[in-house]
Amino acid sequence: MLRVLWLFAALDSVLLSDTGMLFPRESSSREVKELNGLWVFRADRSPNRNQGFERAWYKSRLAETGPVIDMPVPASYNDITQDPTLRDFIGWVWYERELTVPARWITDEDIRVVLRVGSAHYYSVVWVNGVKVTEHEGGHLPFEAEIGTLLRKEPTIPCRITIAVNNTLTLHTLPPGSIQYMNDSTRYPDGFFVQNTNFDFYNYAGIHRPVLLYTTPKAYLDDITVVTDFMDNTGLVRYSVSVQGTASATVKVTLMDTGGHCVASSNEPSGVLKVADVNLWWPYLMHENPGYLYSLEVRLMAADERSTYEDVYALPVGIRTVNVTSTQFLINNKPFYFHGVNKHEDADVRTRVKLNLPSFLLGVEFEYSALQKYLYP
């Protein structure tokens, strides 16, 4: 029950954010550069855990500030190494990655370069080349910052990304926790504290989901909202496209079936697409062709006195309805039987890395119909 409440809290904060943060996907106008792999890492073991800020570790290479180790991203740092003090560490840890971005991203001022962190537990501060670009509270959601403008200031140096992450929980964090100081100096060293939690799992910490850079044109598709429905054989795709970086843009949307044929299109930024003889999205075991996805291809065209811009984004769309009655969960008005499994972050088939096993996801082996991809964190 508690987990369900947290889910709603997480959804709330998504709705409150004022930009869309479309999931990064490559297209003819967008490039993605993944930064997963080994990063440079240092835990701030100073008594108040604040030395990194006092001595501005973000201003130079982390290795120049003191001893560092390699740390995989994404991963929970608690699970890496055999060091119990790192497993149980509370406070700020520092990550760093240096890379060269394609020169074109820098020279072409009409390109936005966005740094995106998939999620980091629990409080994060991010610098690029020693300049703070964003700060984020909360462990489960992505956050991002435009860094192209900053990179253009010093085009000849490599791009150095520094991320400080603090796993300290308070009564206001999700999940909540509290710090307890052990003041009995006969039993504990000075300043000794423990983090108390009231939940049934380990407080895994670190950069938990992929970090990447992606590009968009200066005028870009910021968000695409889709709500689907159907009447008899006709699918209804209500959509709304929001655009940033231009005052006047033309938007064209095309809905393609899996064969790549256009089944509906429009030149309006919002509206309803009607799909004749619709292939509904069904869960595994409810249809012989489950998981049918159309592709909503959205194309933005804009121009200013300097240049013209085109941004393209393809969103997979399943046409289905979900209704909850007092006793049933309905998909496409038919009762859905939840036969679900969880994947732990530390399971053999790790779900926090890109998982390309459709048969696994469809539950073919175990005949399950629901999968929780991230069971804490």
Ligand X SMILES: *[C@@H]1O[C@H](CO)[C@@H](O)[C@H](O)[C@H]1NC(C)=O
Interface with ligand X, residue 78, by CB under 6 A: no
Residue listed under structure tokens 């992450």:
165
Interface with ligand X, residue 49, by CB under 6 A: yes
Of 195 and 254, which CB lies nearer to ligand X in the complex structure?
195
Question: Count of CB atoms within 10 A of residue 142's CB?
Answer: 18
- Segment 239 to 298, residues that bind ligand X, using CB under 6 A: none
Question: Count of CB atoms within 10 A of residue 8's CB?
Answer: 8
Interface with ligand X, residue 91, by CB under 6 A: yes
| In the complex, minimum distance from the CB of residue 126 to ligand X, in angstroms, rounded to a whole number | 14
Of 3 and 334, which CB lies nearer to ligand X in the complex structure?
334
Stretch binding ligand X (CB under 6 A), from 86-94, 156-164, 252-260, 280-288: 86-94
| Identified binder of ligand X from the candidate list 23, 181, 201, 337, rule CB under 6 A | 181
Interface with ligand X, residue 203, by CB under 6 A: no
> Are the beta carbons of 264 and 273 closer than 8 angstroms?
yes
Instruction: Give the 3-state secondary structure of residue 375.
Output: strand
Distance CA 109, CA 293 (A): 36
| Identified binder of ligand X from the candidate list 333, 340, 342, 367, rule CB under 6 A | 333
**DSSP labels, 322-370:** EEE-SS-EEETTEE----EEEEETTSSS-SSS----HHHHTTTTTT-SE
Nearest CA among 219, 276, 206 for reference residue 248: 219
> Are the beta carbons of 94 and 86 closer than 8 angstroms?
no
Total chain residues near ligand X (CB under 6 A) = 13
One-letter identity of residue 5: L
Of 281 and 313, which CB lies nearer to ligand X in the complex structure?
281
Interface with ligand X, residue 143, by CB under 6 A: no
Stretch binding ligand X (CB under 6 A), from 34-42, 89-97, 100-108, 148-156: 89-97
| In the complex, minimum distance from the CB of residue 314 to ligand X, in angstroms, rounded to a whole number | 24
User: Can you read off the two tokens belonging to residue 137?
Assistant: 């509270």
Point out which residues bind ligand X (CB under 6 A). 49, 90-92, 123, 166, 168, 181, 183, 229, 321, 323, 333
